[in-house]
Amino acid sequence: MTGGLEGSDWACERGEKWVSQLPFMEATLAPIDEPLISALQIDGPLRIADIGCGGGGTTLEAARRAPTGSIVDGFDISPALIETAGARPSPSESGVNFEVADASTAPAPEPAYERLLSRFGVMFFGDQSAAFANLRRWLAPGGRFAFAVWGPVGENPWMTSAAEAVSTVIDLPPGPQIWRSLHSRRASR
C-alpha cells in the first residue's frame, strides 16, 4: 500500500514534510517497534540496517536494544530525513550511522548485514521485485529481515477515516487510490 507515493517523491518534498511532522508521526508509529524489533531476534552483537529509516526513531530504538558491539545503520532516500536522524543523540554502546541511499538499487554494503528491519519504509519501491532482490543481497546468509507494512487501504482506518468523514458531506472527486477504495467500499454496502 503506497498511496501512490514512490521513493523519488520522498527524496524531496515528501521527506521534508515528514521532517516537519516527525514528533507526531513517530509517537503514532512507536507501538510498532516492540513486535518489529522482537521479530529480528537480536541475539548477540550484530550488524543491523534500518531500511527507509526516516528520522531514525526505529534505528535508535534498535540500537538501544542491541548488545554492546552492535552496528546499527539507518538508510533513507531523503537527505532531509537523514540529516535530522544524524543530529539526534544515539546510545553510546552501539555504533549508529545514517546514510542517504535508495535501498531499491544501492549496491550491497560490505560486509552484508545480519539483520534488516523496516517500519513502513519498504512500501514505496517502483519495482518491488527488483528492490527486494536487491535487499536480499544486503542480507548475510542466515540473516533475518523483519518489516512492517500497512494492509490494504480499504482495511486501514488510519488512512481512510478523514476522507470517509469528508465524503459524508461532499462527493469526493476521482483521485487517489484511497478515495477510489472508499468509493468501492461504499458501493458494496
Ligand X SMILES: C[S@@+](CC[C@H](N)C(=O)[O-])C[C@H]1O[C@@H](n2cnc3c(N)ncnc32)[C@H](O)[C@@H]1O
Q: How far is the CB of 45 from ligand X (least distance, A)?
A: 23
CB of residue 114 to ligand X, shortest distance in Å: 19
Q: Which residue is nearest to ligand X (CB)?
A: 54
In whole angstroms, the minimum distance from the beta carbon of 152 to ligand X comes to: 16
CB of 45 within 8 A of CB of 67?
Answer: yes
DSSP assignment string, 157-172: HHHHHHHHHHHTTSPP
Nearer to ligand X by Cβ, of 117 and 182: the residue is: 117
Which residue number, 22 or 182, has a Cβ lying nearer to ligand X? 22
Helix axes 157-167, 177-187, angle to 10 degrees: 70
Looking at the Cβ atoms of 10 and 138, the one nearer to ligand X is: 10
Closest distance to ligand X from the beta carbon of 188 (Å): 28
Question: Which of 170, 173, 163, 171 has the alpha carbon at shortest distance from 182?
Answer: 163
Q: Specify the DSSP element, H or E, that contains 144.
A: strand 139-148
**Residues at the contact surface with ligand X, assessed by CB under 6 A:** 7, 10, 15, 18, 25-26, 29, 52-55, 57-58, 75-78, 81, 102-104, 119-121, 124-125
Which residue, 44 or 79, is less far from ligand X as judged by CB? 79
Spatial separation of the C-alpha atoms in residues 189 and 179, rounded to whole Å: 16
